[in-house]
Chains A and B, each alone.
Chain A
Amino acid sequence: MRPETTNRKLMWWGVNLVVLLYAFVPVVWIVSLSLKNDATLNDGNYLPVAPTGQSYKAIFSNTDFLRALVNSIGICIISTTIAIVFGTMAAYAIARLDFPGKRAIVAMALLISMFPQIALVTPLFKIETAFGLFATWPGLIIPYIAFALPLAIYTLSAFFREIPWDLEKAAKMDGATPYQAFRRVITPLAMPGVFTTAILVFISCWNDFLFALSLTSTKAARTVPAAMSYFTGATTFQKPTGPIAAAAVVITIPIVIFVLIFQRRIVAGLTSGAVKG
């Protein structure tokens, strides 16, 4: 028995290694670019010959970048939270309840997620200037929620439909109150779906470039992807490759932390044992 487990473990480590290479080879290239100095930036080596922290120094002494980091984190956490709350409510209703207009709502959500966003930028800009939302946090949060909701509703209701809701009834028969039944039986089953969706929504917000660029004009609400396009080289024709790479590395860190926290929740949901009843 024992050598077999060792072999299986070795096999899985091998598989894991492939996944890690897949994920990190291009990422290490960005890290490497961020550590190169001006003289070696263009040398074509995968790893930096003489690593330097000058790019990181540059972005962390840039107050606009730090402000953008705060904006990104705040705006995306608020957007994700609200989108998940509204999305969960709607997805539960769509998956479990019978009410008029359900199909219309599903169709509408799909329609919104299908419309090319480039075409919506100009009218959205007009609306936001009219309501004084241009270049403010709510001015980004509200569209982010609206465009995250279709994805949230779709994925969540797909999950919710697969949950064995009979378990809830079984728990009630065992003497649990409806609230207890929901909290202890359904919630753990639903959590992997909710957190998966939260990660997707957060990342889509974090990555957004189009709205961040078009609906902001000052550093008050500008997020990191937009702020990066404001980075300039020493002169007009130089591209600040180093600082851009450094900023890319820096803004990947919060995402990794976010994913770390939430993927544990996914694991927690999966291993809570409730699946087996």
Chain B
Amino acid sequence: MTTTPAAATAVEDLAGDGTIEIARQRHTDAKKAERKLGLMLVAPAVVLMLAVTAYPILYAVWLSLNKADLRAPDDNKFIFLSNYVTVLSSPIWWTAFGVTMFLTVVGAVFELVLGMLLAIVMHRTIVGRGLVRTSALVPYAIVTVVAAFSWRFAWTADLGWLSPTGSAPLTEFWPSIWIIVLAEVWKTVPFMALLLMAGLALVPEDLLKAASMDGANAWKRFWMVTVPLIKPAILVALLFRTLDAFRVFDNIFILTSGANHTSSVSMVAYSNLIRGLNLGIGSAMSVLIFITTGIIAFLFIKLFGAAAPGSSAEGRR
């Protein structure tokens, strides 16, 4: 599907010259040039990403197969999958896993719906557009830790303006979870909206007008014209948000520190890796988080035909 400029040129030449041999020659030359250009353009990004992350990632994977405690470097030894067995047979891990899944799914649903609404407002409003666009981004711009503190103070019984008198929502499981969802959603709806709005900008007005003339109402226009056109933007936004949401850390760290079983998998990994100095167990958890996010990404790409830029199956319409 992807008709690259070079390929297009080659096809034109084919029509012009009429000599298959020369055309083929030029075609391969153009292909070669295109390959070279492509590789040159991606080289800086690839080199930089590899230089920074290759060793740390491989090292973490290696550590996950070892007994490795920072305080006792002499006792380190290769223990294959024992760390994984320990983690996967622990109820602590599975509680955290459930909490994280809940936060991810519920958060993503709210964020997508509210993000779409906000994107439409930012895109369509006919008054105060700059004001709305700038201020809508403020929650996203505020440092997460600070925003989390603001929510925590707001909900602390007797001290905060949001806390109902006589009860302490951050000391119970479900109220804590919903406050964490609120903090997450408040903060990341603008991220969604920004990505979606940039997608909305690419929907040709003509198409919407034409649909309107054909008698489609606003709701129908949105579903039949806009959504299919901005699907790539939606999926990229949703994919990145889900991956981030699954690794939720800052908000929980500040709001509850994992009290009342509100730890996420990243929190548990943190307390074993950084606090407990158990690099083996902590790395195993990190790899498990990585594998889970990998499965999420895979499902997005396979089931929803998402994202994967460069895959020829999902070309331009």
Residues of chain A touching chain B, judged by Cβ–Cβ distance below 8 Å, are: 8-9, 12-13, 15-16, 19-20, 22-24, 26-27, 29-30, 33, 42-46, 86-87, 89-103, 105-106, 108-116, 118-124, 127, 142-143, 145-147, 149-151, 153-155, 157-159, 161-163, 165, 168-169, 192-193, 196, 199-200, 203, 206-207, 209, 224-225, 228-229, 241, 244-245, 247-248, 251-252, 255-256, 259-260, 263-264, 266-267, 269-270, 275-276
Which chain B residues lie closer than 8 Å to A90 at the CB level? Answer: 41-42, 44-46
Q: Do most interface residues of chain A lie in helix, strand or loop, or is the interface mixed?
A: helix
Q: Is B132 interfacial (CB-CB < 8 Å)?
A: yes
Which chain A residues lie closer than 8 Å to B127 at the CB level? Answer: 9, 12-13, 16
A149 to B266, CA, bound (A): 22
In the complex, what's the smallest C-beta–C-beta distance from B117 to chain A, in angstroms? Answer: 9
Number of A-B contacts (CB under 8 A): 321
In the complex, what's the smallest C-beta–C-beta distance from A49 to chain B, in angstroms? Answer: 13
Q: Do most interface residues of chain B lie in helix, strand or loop, or is the interface mixed?
A: helix
| A144 nearest CB neighbor, chain B only | B52
Which chain B residues lie closer than 8 Å to A225 at the CB level? Answer: 143, 145
User: Are A157 and B310 in contact, with the CB atoms below 8 A?
Assistant: yes
Segment with Cβ contacts to A, from B101-109, B211-219, B285-293? B285-293
- A105-B42, A108-B46, A247-B146 known, 6 other contacts, Cβ within 8 Å: A44-B160, A94-B42, A98-B6, A99-B37, A161-B309, A162-B229
| B289 nearest CB neighbor, chain A only | A116
User: Are A96 and B48 in contact, with the CB atoms below 8 A?
Assistant: no
A193 to B195, CA, bound (A): 8
Per-residue CB proximity of B70-87 to A under 8 Å, as 1/0?
000000000000000000
User: Are B143 and A207 in contact, with the CB atoms below 8 A?
Assistant: yes
Partner of A114, one of B2, B205, B273, B297: B297
User: Are B266 and A116 in contact, with the CB atoms below 8 A?
Assistant: yes
Which chain A residues lie closer than 8 Å to B290 at the CB level? Answer: 114-116
Residues of B263-300 whose CB lies within 8 A of A: 266, 269-270, 273-274, 279, 282-283, 286-287, 289-290, 293-294, 297
Partner of A15, one of B125, B195, B240: B125
A211 to B249, CA, bound (A): 14
User: Are A93 and B236 in contact, with the CB atoms below 8 A?
Assistant: no
Which chain A residues lie closer than 8 Å to B18 at the CB level? Answer: none
Which chain A residues lie closer than 8 Å to B20 at the CB level? Answer: none
User: Are B161 and A29 in contact, with the CB atoms below 8 A?
Assistant: yes
In the complex, what's the smallest C-beta–C-beta distance from A264 to chain B, in angstroms? Answer: 7
